[in-house]
Structure 1
Amino acid sequence: MDPRPSRNTAAGGFAIATGVLGGTILGAVGFHQPTIGFLVGAAAGVAIALAVWLIDRR
């Protein structure tokens, strides 16, 4: 058994899902370009998820 206490880790999947959905909606409504909104939202969500993962690694 591992003598260290277990700890809960953070997950960034919510950030990716929110980024994709929010980007698609904002891209479609604001710019009439849902694909570009999807890509920008996905990139932002992945960046946030990566930041959460890096911070949680400490």
Structure 2
Amino acid sequence: MGGCFEEGAPAFAGVDTHKGSHTLALLDALGRRLGAREFPADAAGIAELVVFCNFYF
């Protein structure tokens, strides 16, 4: 997913939560999408979401 992310630059995360899944979108300070992904709404899915998010933060 990488891309045009500059280390130390502001980034923002938004999560759309549902009973069966959570969708995470990451944006840079200009609103450009850094990455987006859907995760299962269980302990393993949340752990994956955290790892995915930590790649950018």
TM-score, reference length from structure 2: 0.36
- Between Structure 1 and Structure 2, the one with more strand by share is 2
- Between Structure 1 and Structure 2, the one with more helix by share is 1
Higher relative contact order (Cα pairs below 8 Å, separated by 6+ residues): 1
